[in-house]
Amino acid sequence: MQPTTPERWDGLIIGASLATLAGARGYGEIIDGALGWRDGRITYAGPRDALPGPPSSLAREVIESDGWITPGLVDCHTHLVFAGDRAREFELRLQGASYEEIARAGGGILSTVQAVRAADEDELLRQSLPRAHALLADGATTLEIKSGYGLDFANERKMLRVARRIGVELGITVRTTYLAAHALPPEFSDRPDAYIDAVIDWLPRLHEEGLVDAVDAFCEGIGFSPAQTRRVFDAARALGLPVKLHADQLSDLGGAGLVAEFDGLSADHVEHSSDASVRAMAQAGVVAVLLPGAFHVLRETRLPPLDAFREHQVVMAVATDCNPGTSPLMSLRQAMQLACIHFRLTPEEALRGATVHASRALGLADRGMLKVGMRADFVQWRVRHPAELGYWLGGALAGAVWVGGERRATQAS
């Protein structure tokens, strides 16, 4: 019996091959597939010849397609709300200055803080929205956006409000992360514990406004100590907020292990994470978020403990770390390519890292695969095999992007 009209799907794509990623390994390939959806959820993902009826009887709109369809990409670590740029610092690093030297001389994060504080909310949105649009155009249908360039209550709030507005403007999911413990602002010079007191004080107020989905910190010699980070995490736990951490990027302070102690979502960067921390991550189910853009721009040589992650079955996500200083990267697909080159991920690992595992790093269980019941977030790519997503350096490969079953414009107006 054919579906009745009220039960017809909103849309059905036929002809393209599907990389469902629904199994534990492999692409979950379905050649000559079909993908149907209704009310923003996938209703069918399988072979075209196994559809339960003629396509025109099943859906209000039937689209003939080719290429490959994957789940929408999920960028689980970005700092894309900011003002200005740090191109001059890029030049200084190429001339031999280190990231730490620039930061200690008043550059780095604090130079972006000055630009963010000087911009009002509308101007900050105007500068940030094109970056989000670029990520969407290259297949990212869910974004995480951190604060951390305000470093006072009003400006942290402004950043988080802009992040929420980006989600509304583009019609995509934006998960906001409170990262006030990113750097020590000038007004708290030499008083890091007092600043952490302020960070903790601001958090409940911002959470009450619905602006915080998770809490992060920069646990590093040029950031905050494990003890200070623990205080921030305790405050997050008291509010029922999940935590994640910029962990072990420049040194091993045990940050990844600290995240595991708090059953956190993810430890990010993790180039210097110890075997003990990796074991703790595995036990707690913490995702390792690889950020090859920063590794590339900073010309790092210390690889994350990739073999240990595989051995202990710590899943690895891939993200852009889009930020003005160390990863001015506006393509998650390019981050996948860099992960393949620098970290020797396979194209399948990179794709899973930017979909299934990235979703987990945000605590989202309703996306990242093409599977009945999942969100209808997906991308039709102009490729002959999904391995090409980790192969091509640049280029416009996304033919069309759907978010919640609605096609989104991939060109900024």
Find out whether 269 is annotated in a ligand binding site. Answer: no
Find out whether 155 is annotated in a ligand binding site. Answer: no
Find out whether 86 is annotated in a ligand binding site. Answer: yes
Give the pLDDT score at 92. Answer: 82
| pLDDT tens column, 95-118 | 888 877 877 776 788 889 999 999
What CA dihedral angle connects 148, 151, 157 and 161, to 10 degrees?
-30
| pLDDT tens column, 124-145 | 999 999 999 999 999 999 999 9
Instruction: Give the span between the Cα atoms of 22 and 41, in whole angstroms.
Output: 15
SS3 200: helix
Give the pLDDT score at 150. Answer: 98
Range with the lowest mean pLDDT among 20-24, 95-99, 162-166?
95-99
Instruction: Give the span between the Cα atoms of 167 and 75, in whole angstroms.
Output: 13
DSSP H or E segment with residue 284? helix 275-284
Q: How many of the other CB atoms lie within 10 Å of CB of 46?
A: 17
Instruction: Give the span between the Cα atoms of 120 and 105, in whole angstroms.
Output: 26
Fill in the amino acid letter for 121.
Answer: E
Question: In which band, very low, low, confident or very high, does the pLDDT at 411 lie, cut at 50, 70 and 90?
Answer: low
Question: In which band, very low, low, confident or very high, does the pLDDT at 399 lie, cut at 50, 70 and 90?
Answer: very high
May I ask the CATH architecture of the domain 73-361?
A: Alpha-Beta Barrel (3.20)
**CATH 3.40.50.10420 fits domain 9-71+369-408:** no
**What integer best gives the mean pLDDT of the chain?**
95
Range with the lowest mean pLDDT among 102-106, 317-321, 375-379?
102-106
Give the pLDDT score at 1. Answer: 31
Range with the lowest mean pLDDT among 80-94, 280-294, 333-347?
80-94
Query: What phi and psi, each to the nearest 5 degrees, are found at residue 363?
Result: 70, 25
Handedness of CA 153, 158, 163, 168 (dihedral sign): positive
Are the folds of 9-71+369-408 and 73-361 the same?
Answer: no
Give the pLDDT score at 6. Answer: 52
Find out whether 323 is annotated in a ligand binding site. Answer: yes
| pLDDT tens column, 242-299 | 999 999 999 999 999 999 999 999 999 999 999 999 999 999 999 999 999 999 998 9
Q: Which of 397, 350, 406, 348 is nearest to 375 (CA)?
A: 406
Question: In which band, very low, low, confident or very high, does the pLDDT at 5 lie, cut at 50, 70 and 90?
Answer: very low
Quick check: 199 pLDDT over 90?
yes
Q: Per-domain residue ranges for the chain? A: 9-71+369-408, 73-361
| pLDDT tens column, 177-194 | 999 999 999 999 999 999
Instruction: Give the span between the Cα atoms of 233 and 253, in whole angstroms.
Output: 16
Q: How many of the other CB atoms lie within 10 Å of CB of 229?
A: 28
Range with the lowest mean pLDDT among 53-67, 94-108, 262-276, 356-370?
94-108
Give the pLDDT score at 240. Answer: 98
Overall average pLDDT of the 89-96 stretch: 84
Find out whether 344 is annotated in a ligand binding site. Answer: no
Overall average pLDDT of the 115-123 stretch: 98
Give the pLDDT score at 106. Answer: 67
Quick check: 81 pLDDT over 60?
yes
